[in-house]
Structure 1
């Protein structure tokens, strides 16, 4: 197998150098702020198994660019709102790359530095989806 020109680790490092990273305690403090929206990029199965941040909006990573672009037929109006968007994944790698890409598109956002992996350990609330209600927000 040929050696890659750039590793994922290098890509994440470069992305983190140019985006806003939000520490977990700061994100916990922002949860009740209606001008802030937490966007969960994880796969639906991750949310079902591990739970999710209450009030978060689920945007599968594969649809991100399409849901954010107002000219896309898949545009979601929530991304047209005047809010601070903080994206997260499990460990902060997918969200770092995603936010760097969004900035390249002209969409301002931040990401949760450590992702969901330390959220509960640091006192962040977690909602567990119920089978009868479906997956959640």
Structure 2
């Protein structure tokens, strides 16, 4: 019987730090400017559905981080055409604070997406700056 390897090789923050060396980032202000100018081909939100429902950037497409590889691969039954048809467009990836989005952007880059940028500070920074936010509304509430 083998003993479990309890020695951690890399921490989550180390993955993020390494990704930041390879992936460009926009501030929330830069992201808004690019969106307003129509320069973003796809705004991808990699948060979880429960986070999305509490508010998201208008025009964003939801692709939770846990399903990203399947959504981005046109050969899978889960492929999202909103994503797979934008391989060369500017893709702006956002999450809550910037960690998941930088890792997601790195994943997309390694899958052959050529122009991927992460939004530093994520949705939290976007909302803090009082930029437009869409919220899910339920009929009758």
State the partner residue of 2:43. 38
Structure 1 window deviating more from structure 2 (106-115 vs 11-20): it is: 106-115
C-alpha separation in 2, matches of 1:52 and 1:31 = 14
Asked if residue 15 in structure 1 is aligned to residue 10 in structure 2, the reply is no
Pick 1 or 2: higher relative contact order, CA cutoff 8 A, min separation 6: 1
Aligned length: 132
Normalised to the residue count of structure 1, the TM-score between the two structures is 0.87
Structure 1 window deviating more from structure 2 (85-94 vs 100-109): it is: 100-109
Give the ranges of 4+ consecutive aligned residues of structure 1 lying more than 6 Å apart after TM superposition. Answer: none
Normalised to the residue count of structure 2, the TM-score between the two structures is 0.85
Q: 1:10-43: per-residue Cα shift (whole Å, max 9, x none)?
A: 1100001100111110111122344412111111
In the alignment, structure 1 segments of 5+ residues that lack a partner are none
In the alignment, structure 2 segments of 5+ residues that lack a partner are none
Pick the structure with greater CA Rg: 2
